[in-house]
Structure 1
Amino acid sequence: MSKEVEAYILIAQQEWELNLGSNARNLAVEFSKAKPVMYVNPAIDMKSIIKQIRTPHGKKRLKLALGLGQNTVKVAENLWVHTPQTISYSINWLKNISLYNFLNRRNGKGFFDSLKKAARKLHWKPENCIVFNDSQMFTGLFTKDFFKPLLSFYYIRDNLIEHPYFKFHGSRVEPETIEKADAIFANSAYLADYARQHHKISLDIGQGCETDMYDAFATKTEPADLALIAHPRIGYVGFLTGERLDISLLEQLAEARKDWHIVLIGPEEIMFQQSRLHQLPNVYFLGSKKPAELPAYMHYIDVCMNPQLINELTVGNYPRKIDEYLAMGKPTVATETPAMKMFLPHVELAVGVEGYIKAIEKALQPQDSAAQMAAISCAKSHTWEACAEKIYAVQEKLLNTPN
């Protein structure tokens, strides 16, 4: 078997077309600087077809699943996106393990049959490709059975098996998927330690962040909706979800310090929409903003925060927004978790409302310029190139180790 890497195949959780900021997308672009890359969208399942069939996106996905269109499209130099020509069974609700395993294997075969067809179209041999699986634990279980790549890597960036959707089947399937891989990569020490229980090669490769547009010293115009809010402004920028953010903490903080103005920027899911935060006079929801607008909002916020809820889903999470805050030179307060300790001493870590009040009071003090520059340098060092180099080092070691 040749040990020359021909291409990378990145099995993703999110569709490329959605254009969401995701580690898989960033790594695909980084890998494409070295080798050809195929980014593989998740296969559509029967339940999703029923829900989306009346939408333009749903109609397009169904056509591609039936092979009626271009399933593999070149989107950039050295980078293709493949949408699987298969429809998966919707089986997560099944409690019968034997039936679930049978249908999951059928789903995996359909997925990898489509992938092999796409590889042949690009004249790639599976045995010369490296598969990088972005936590697609159910499909990934069959990577070596149905695709037989040169190497198979499994990537963990969230503690997914604590999420209700994944918990029942994922808690038994993910460890097996991890065991079958050649190496495991994670974006935090906590997740790498978890994977190491099931695989001896488990490495924390850190996290990349696109910090180029977050320039602390560039001239910015204060956004009109933010200019109406008095100082001090304590802000959060990102998706507002009750699964990951501590709504109760925010409510208590706003009520305890009515002289502070809590600014929340980003789309809201239902838990935030229904929260008491909307009734508090010193809490401001500014809604979704375009990515290019965010640096200006951060610049005119006095203290940036990440009021993370501590649970099994979030405890190992690496919040990318911390790098964005620090790159903007902002005083930053965050909930203390194992993953956050890597940012010390550049952030103030806190637990509970009293801890947050003390941390924010400290962060509101005048910044030391040397400390600010050190924080900016810390954020700017977290690049996708650095993450990829750690992956390549493990890859080379595996390829040059005699069987």
Structure 2
Amino acid sequence: MDEGADRLALRDADIICLGPAVWGVIHSVTHYTMQGMAEANRVVYVEPFGASLTLRNVARFQQRQREQKPVLEQIGERFWVYRPPAIGLPGISRLAAVSRINGRILAWLLRRVQQRLGLRNPILWSPLYNSGAVLRHFPARLKIFETVDFDAALARNARQRAMMLKLEAEACRAADLVFAVTDELAEPLRVHNPNMHVVYCAAAPEVFGRALLPETNVPEAIARLPKPVIGYLGGVDPWKIDVALLRHLAQSHPEWSIVLVGYVWFGFDAAVFADCRNIHLLGPQAYGDFPAFLKGMDVCIMPFPLNDTTLRGDALKLYEYLCGGKPVVSTSVPAARRLASVVRIADNKADFVTAVEAALTDPPEARAARLAAVRPHSWAARTRQKAAIIRAALDESPLSPTTGPRH
């Protein structure tokens, strides 16, 4: 292979990225992408901005203490984390005007960060549906909006959903180019910005591939359970867990151990499994321990209900399961259908049980097929893909810091 093939096409650029969460709390598309971009560019990751009460509630939701003090901290050779002061207005989930005002304030704060670090004509990147104002008011060399989830699916009512869709459209129009992690997310947004590029999710093989190593020890929390272990790795939330399906799976095979590893998010009542003694919720674990938990699973599952979240989004866990060489059974969501050659897909509860039974009898050579199928889907490859798209956009139409927003 050519030595330059793995080089990023975008190099020596300055990138300011609006993070969806406090750095290190979750490993998201944005997290992996910015880590990759920082190999050849300077990156400032901006932690969530808003009102103090709002940020405190989010911290409680994520089961962590909120850091109070604003900070600009260098955590890598080319990587900084910025925690802005909590001076935003509350009520972003109720009023679109609040998001717009907060966006103006954040744009002002980011200009100060730019001056402090001496950033040269930076690229501004946002995965936040309500970031249209900051995209419009921060003078950037290139403005990128990336849609990674259908956020409006989480709206409490029709009014809030309409507001969220309107704000997302504003962010899309304010950007010079748009990334989407699936075709399903991209298609309805093309009307707002035709410069749309679909780049799927991926996995970190250097991390999840450790599930294949003999020296990786399975944690006692799984090792002590009766075999086989049917596993789920990731957040346990009401949008991605089909409770009836999991209960049916557990009751059909009470001798199986069904484990769910990850945060039990607000809105999910774990008591629904109280009478299923073979369902085990193991709670949040350190990211570095995920491969060990994955190694202890005999079959991995995506028991997704079919809703706006799962029918439009991608699934990081699918790529991570496959990086660990594990058989995968999923409901019929687009993420699974794209890798149908190595994923068993079930259309109903009975078929799901049958598919797991079949997966437990997979021959050893099937693992090689799974590893081959997931090999192109690394975060390194995705970052190179995005870098090439950005480089082409910059070369095709160089933008000055005074370039106005798209209307």
Indicate the TM-score class for this superposition, using the shorter chain for normalisation: 0.7 to 0.9
1:68 matched residue in structure 2: none
Q: Give the C-alpha shift of residue 368 in structure 1.
A: 4.5
Q: Name the amino acid aligned to 2:294.
A: M
Tell me which of the two structures has the higher relative contact order, counting C-alpha pairs closer than 8 angstroms and 6 or more residues apart.
2
Q: Give the C-alpha shift of residue 394 in structure 1.
A: 2.1
List per-residue Cα deviations over 1:205-225 (Å, max 9, x = no partner): 122322213235411434333
Alignment of structure 1 residues 86-235 onto 2, 5 Å: 87-92=87-92, 94=94, 100-101=96-97, 103-125=98-120, 128-134=121-127, 136-144=128-136, 146-164=137-155, 167-213=161-207, 214-219=209-214, 220-235=216-231
Q: Give the C-alpha shift of residue 4 in structure 1.
A: 9.6
2:309 matched residue in structure 1: 313
List per-residue Cα deviations over 1:104-137 (Å, max 9, x = no partner): 3321111010000000111124xx2111112x22
| Equivalent residue for 1:375, pick from 341, 366, 370 | 370
| Equivalent residue for 2:22, pick from 15, 19, 24 | 15
1:72 matched residue in structure 2: 72
Task: Classify 1:178/1:271 alpha carbon distance in 2 versus 1 (closer, same or farther; 3 Å).
Answer: closer
Greater mean alpha carbon deviation, residues 84-93 or residues 36-45: 84-93
1:396 matched residue in structure 2: 391
Q: Give the C-alpha shift of residue 26 in structure 1.
A: 1.5
- Kept in 2: contact 1:108–1:142 (CA 8 A): yes
Q: Give the C-alpha shift of residue 46 in structure 1.
A: 4.4
Which structure 2 residue ranges, 5 or more long, are not aligned? 1-9, 399-407
1:120 and 1:226 map into 2 onto residues whose CA distance is 50
Task: Classify 1:83/1:243 alpha carbon distance in 2 versus 1 (closer, same or farther; 3 Å).
Answer: same
2:93 and 2:299 map into 1 onto residues whose CA distance is 43
- Kept in 2: contact 1:159–1:312 (CA 8 A): yes
Q: Name the amino acid aligned to 1:119.
A: Q
2:322 matched residue in structure 1: 326
3-state SS of the aligned residue for 1:321?
helix
1:402 and 1:354 map into 2 onto residues whose CA distance is 54
2:226 and 2:371 map into 1 onto residues whose CA distance is 26
3-state SS of the aligned residue for 2:245?
helix
2:58 and 2:345 map into 1 onto residues whose CA distance is 42
- Kept in 2: contact 1:263–1:285 (CA 8 A): yes
1:319 and 1:228 map into 2 onto residues whose CA distance is 29
Q: Name the amino acid aligned to 1:122.
A: L
Alignment of structure 1 residues 254-403 onto 2, 5 Å: 254-269=250-265, 272-369=268-365, 371-402=366-397
Q: Give the C-alpha shift of residue 86 in structure 1.
A: 5.3
2:3 matched residue in structure 1: none
Task: Classify 1:12/1:140 alpha carbon distance in 2 versus 1 (closer, same or farther; 3 Å).
Answer: farther
3-state SS of the aligned residue for 1:167?
helix
Task: Classify 1:121/1:139 alpha carbon distance in 2 versus 1 (closer, same or farther; 3 Å).
Answer: same
3-state SS of the aligned residue for 1:367?
coil
2:397 and 2:320 map into 1 onto residues whose CA distance is 42
Is 1:44 aligned with 2:50?
Answer: yes
1:67 matched residue in structure 2: none
Q: Give the C-alpha shift of residue 56 in structure 1.
A: 9.9
1:377 and 1:211 map into 2 onto residues whose CA distance is 12
Please give the root-mean-square deviation of Cα atoms over the aligned residues, in Å: 2.7
Length, aligned pairs only: 382
Task: Classify 1:236/1:176 alpha carbon distance in 2 versus 1 (closer, same or farther; 3 Å).
Answer: same
- Kept in 2: contact 1:245–1:309 (CA 8 A): yes
**Please, what TM-score do these two structures have when normalized by structure 2?**
0.85
Task: Classify 1:267/1:85 alpha carbon distance in 2 versus 1 (closer, same or farther; 3 Å).
Answer: closer
